[in-house]
Amino acid sequence: MTTPTESTATPPGTSSAAPAGGPGARRTWLREHSEIGVGVLLLALGVLVLTDALTMDVEITQRGPVGPKTVPIVVGIGLVVVAVLLTLDVLRGGRGEAEGGEDIDLSEPADWRTVLLLAGVFLGNAVLIGPLGFPISGALLFWGSAYALGSRHLDRDPLIAAGLSLVTYFVFDNLLGVPLPGGPLMGVL
């Protein structure tokens, strides 16, 4: 006599999701190899970086053993190599380990309000950086991000955001030589 668990058990190495070759088998294969998507994303990013680096216009005075193309080319090649190695590892049966120390309850739904607020803050910064300049749009970015992530110190957060934005502007514009738009504060700063 067989018990209910014996009659419904599947042999090792087979899937009970769907017959071989059916749409269910394809879904199962995609679920088991979903990390290939990360490899595809890394490959696309690497190709984009390499394309931009190789088509970069460089003046003759900027040429040398280490020019402006060197780091993007190294990063692009690294991204392509990692993408290929990751994809090969997944196809050979490798799986990423789950995070052990995270305090995330995977049964809870995603917090879409926070995600949408952060996306709005970043898009707003992209739109406002031209007309308002980095000091003002950066302050709005820092304060909006803090608000979206749960900080409700309305007296302290805008001051910290303004300070961070000004320090970032001065470091990039004056110390690193990366020009950022000053906007209406250009004459004041």
Per-residue pLDDT of 140-161, as tens digits, reads 999 999 999 999 998 999 999 9
- Give the pTM: 0.51
Decide: 77 and 54 in contact? Cβ < 8 Å: no
pLDDT of residue 16: 46
Quote the CA–CA distance of 126 and 141 in Å, as a whole number.
Answer: 9
Percent of the chain with pLDDT over 70: 78
- The per-residue pLDDT for range 65-118, each reduced to its tens digit, is 677 788 899 999 999 999 999 999 988 888 777 666 666 666 778 889 999 999
* 49 closest CA partner among 83, 75, 85: 75
pLDDT at site 13: 46
Lowest mean pLDDT among 5-14, 55-64, 176-185: 5-14
Per-residue pLDDT for 24 more than 70?
A: yes
User: pLDDT averaged over the chain?
Assistant: 82
